[in-house]
Amino acid sequence: MTSSQEKSNQYLSSAVKRIQPSGIRKFFDLASSMDNIISLGVGEPDYSTPWNVREASIASLERGITSYTANAGMLELREAISRYLENEFETLYNPSDEIIVTAGASEAIDLALRATVNPGEEVLIVEPSFVSYAPLVSLVGGVPVPVATSIENGFKVTAEQIERCVTEKTKAILLCFPNNPTGTIMSKLELEKVAAVIKRHDLLVYSDEIYAEMTYDNQHVSVPSLDGMWERTILISGFSKAFAMTGWRLGYVTAPSHLASGMLKIHQYAMMCASTMAQYGAIEALKNGKEEMLEMIESYRQRRNFFVSSLKEIGLTCHKPGGAFYAFPSIESTGLSSEAFAEKLLFDERVAVVPGNVFGAGGEGHIRCSYASSLSQLEEAVERIDSFLGKIR
């Protein structure tokens, strides 16, 4: 580091200095410097947003509706979210004071943590997990505590695992099912067992359910719909994945009103409100987007089946992910670390995947492959991985 860099770094807060840049970012920099890449590294749908949704947003612009909305988001959208959650996931939230429209689920996670975590309080994070959880906990002065899951259990978290990590400083637990990067989902029974420990220790739950619609064999079970969980859960979701709206930056967070009003304070000062034209698109997505969403999900399911059985054919152990669009095969048999594997695969065969270690404890020995790519790309990727395995074994 040059001395001028050191000097300017003195201005950075210690919290910011403590956190690492995302491991995904590092792989992005590597992969984007190369061409002819087949990418399984993408954490987003390969579809564009359905046309009717885009059209609704365009229409709002044409009518010149370009001002701020209410801080919590347009009431019409909150009402639509409320109806949607009730119909699809049996969770009830009052649109007037229990729902906040955010700039993506990303902002929702940040709001939830900022509104609830005091410095020094521990937040359990079920890992492997989405990359932003632990750094965001650190940024608010909390202590992220990993609860590691592993392939033996299909990356499901158990009550005992949680029990072992709870201390008197534990304030909350962060759950994400269907999970990024493992695609794991939990059944109602499994969640109820977990809920029992959570209730016993009186923990708060952040439940990131952004992939809720994208389950392939079993219906998604929403955490706040479980007995005694609603009052202790902050639900995080959004439009990015199921409605193929990543670039719109639109999500939402729901919680009992005293928690929601806390989050709203932060949101109103930090963000004012989510993008207005995006909110118009979102209303259309919730009202008329189901059919196209189901088509997309059918296609993800088919590609999951194809990809996972192809991985098995070439000798990679992989649990069958029940949701999202990620497969998380084990590469342990190759003797390489996940990072070395991903790097070598990228250089030798030009296939981009994300090393499992960037997703935290339990992720080492795995790679994340997104199957949200065309079938021909997936076929080609499997061939290349196969030839790579042939060379390194």
Ligand X SMILES: Cc1ncc(COP(=O)(O)O)c(C=O)c1O
CA pair distance 278, 373, nearest whole angstrom? 25
Write down the least CB distance from residue 352 to another protein, Å.
5
Write down the least CB distance from residue 335 to ligand X, Å.
29
- When asked if residue 318 is in the footprint of another protein (CB under 8 A), the reply is no
Residue closer to another protein by CB (options 43, 329) is 43
CA-CA distances (angstroms) from residue 264 to 132, 160, 259, 360?
A: 21, 35, 9, 30
CA pair distance 198, 180, nearest whole angstrom? 22
Residue 133 near which of another protein, ligand X, none (CB within 5-8 Å, type-dependent): none
DSSP assignment, residue 356?
A: G
Question: What does the chain come to in residues?
Answer: 393
Residue 24: left if φ>0, alpha if ψ -120 to 50, beta else—which one? alpha
Residues whose CB is less than 8 angstroms from the CB of residue 301 and which lie 6 or more positions away in sequence, other chains included: 216
Residue 310 near which of another protein, ligand X, none (CB within 5-8 Å, type-dependent): another protein
Tokens 């098995």, residue located? 312
- When asked if residue 82 is in the footprint of ligand X (CB under 6 A), the reply is no
Residue 210 near which of ligand X, another protein, none (CB within 5-8 Å, type-dependent): ligand X
Rule CB under 6 A: which of 96-115 touch ligand X?
Answer: 104-106
CA pair distance 97, 256, nearest whole angstrom? 8
- When asked if residue 356 is in the footprint of ligand X (CB under 6 A), the reply is no
Residue 105 near which of ligand X, another protein, none (CB within 5-8 Å, type-dependent): ligand X
* Given 302, 347, 348, 390, the residue binding another protein (CB under 8 A): 302
Write down the least CB distance from residue 13 to another protein, Å.
23
Paired sense of beta strands 326-327 and 367-370, if any: antiparallel
Cβ proximity of 197 and 159 under 8 Å: yes
- When asked if residue 41 is in the footprint of ligand X (CB under 6 A), the reply is no
Element (H, E) at 27: helix 23-32
- When asked if residue 8 is in the footprint of another protein (CB under 8 A), the reply is no
- When asked if residue 325 is in the footprint of another protein (CB under 8 A), the reply is no
- Which is nearest to 306 in space by CA: 379, 369, 241, 370? 379
Computed from CA positions of residues 159, 165, 168, 170, in that sequence, does the dihedral angle turn out positive or negative? Answer: negative
- When asked if residue 69 is in the footprint of ligand X (CB under 6 A), the reply is no
> Per-residue contact track with another protein, 276 to 295, x per CB under 8 A?
--------------------
Write down the least CB distance from residue 24 to ligand X, Å.
9
Q: How many residues bind another protein (CB under 8 A)?
A: 28
- When asked if residue 309 is in the footprint of another protein (CB under 8 A), the reply is yes
Phi first, then psi: what are they for 120, rounded to 5°?
A: 90, -15
Residue closer to another protein by CB (options 29, 163) is 29
Two tokens, residue 196:
């029992």
CA pair distance 341, 366, nearest whole angstrom? 9
CA pair distance 319, 305, nearest whole angstrom? 11
Rule CB under 8 A: which of 23-82 touch another protein?
Answer: 24, 27-28, 31-32, 37, 39, 41-44, 46
Residue closer to ligand X by CB (options 100, 336) is 100
- When asked if residue 348 is in the footprint of another protein (CB under 8 A), the reply is no
- When asked if residue 270 is in the footprint of another protein (CB under 8 A), the reply is no
Write down the least CB distance from residue 10 to another protein, Å.
30
- When asked if residue 359 is in the footprint of ligand X (CB under 6 A), the reply is no
Tokens 């000062």, residue located? 269
- When asked if residue 340 is in the footprint of another protein (CB under 8 A), the reply is no
CA-CA distances (angstroms) from residue 80 to 129, 134, 208, 229?
A: 29, 31, 19, 23
- When asked if residue 180 is in the footprint of ligand X (CB under 6 A), the reply is yes
- When asked if residue 369 is in the footprint of another protein (CB under 8 A), the reply is no
Which residues of the shown chain bind another protein in the complex (CB under 8 A)? 22, 24, 27-28, 31-32, 37, 39, 41-44, 46, 130-132, 180, 298, 302-303, 305-306, 309-310, 352, 354, 375, 379
